[in-house]
Amino acid sequence: MKLLAVLGDPIAHSLSPLMHNYVYQKNAIEAIYTRIKIADGKRLREVFEANDLYGANITIPHKEEAFRLADEVSQTVEKIGAVNTWVKNGDRIIGHNTDAEGFMSAAAIKSGETALVLGAGGAARAVAIALLERGIDFAVLNRTADRLAFFERYGAKVFLWENPPNERFDLIINTTSAGLKDDSLPLEINALENYLKNAKGAFDLIYGKKTPFLRLAETLGVKAQDGENMLVFQGAIAHSLFFGGDRTQIAQDMKTALRFPALWR
Ligand code: ATR
Segment 189-196 shows an average pLDDT of 98
d(CA 188, ligand 1 centre) in Å: 14
- Using the mean position of ligand 1's atoms as its centre, give its distance from the Cα of residue 258 in Å: 26
Question: Hey, how many other C-beta atoms are within 10 angstroms of the C-beta on 72?
Answer: 11
- CB of 61 closer than 6 angstroms to any ligand 1 atom: no
**Long-range contacts from 149-158, C-beta under 8 angstroms, 24+ separation:** 150/81, 150/120, 150/125, 151/120, 151/124, 151/125, 154/79, 154/128, 154/129, 156/128, 156/132, 158/120
pLDDT at 265 over 90: no
Q: What is the pLDDT of residue 262?
A: 63
Split at pLDDT 50, 70, 90, the class of 122 is confident
Give the mean model confidence (pLDDT) for residues 198-203. Answer: 98
Question: Is the minimum distance from the CB of 147 to ligand 1 under 6 angstroms?
Answer: yes
In the reported structure, the alpha carbon of residue 177 is separated from the centroid of ligand 1 by a whole-number distance in angstroms of: 6
- Do the Cβ atoms of 17 and 33 come closer than 8 Å? yes
Q: Confirm or reject: Cβ of 249 under 6 Å from ligand 1.
A: no
Q: What are the C-alpha distances in Å from 253 to residues 24, 81, 225?
A: 10, 30, 19
| Whole-number pLDDT of residue 239 | 98
**pLDDT in the model for residue 208:** 84
Which amino acid does the sequence have at 187?
L
Which domains does the chain carry?
2-97+228-263 (3.40.50.10860), 101-225 (3.40.50.720)
Residue 172: helix, strand or coil by DSSP? strand
CA of 32 to the centre of ligand 1 (A): 34
Q: Give the model's confidence band at 263: pLDDT under 50 very low, under 70 low, under 90 confident, else very high.
A: low
**Which residues are known to be catalytic?**
63
Q: 201-231: per-residue pLDDT in tens? A: 999 999 888 999 999 999 999 999 999 999 9
**Number of other CB atoms surrounding residue 83 within 10 Å:** 27
Closest to 81 measured CA to CA, from 95, 71, 92? 95
> Where residue 261 falls among pLDDT bands split at 50, 70, 90?
low
Q: Is the CB of 143 under 6 A from ligand 1?
A: yes
- Establish whether residue 227 lines the binding site of ligand 1, counting it when its CB lies within 6 angstroms of any ligand atom: no
The answer to whether residue 138 scores a pLDDT higher than 80 is yes
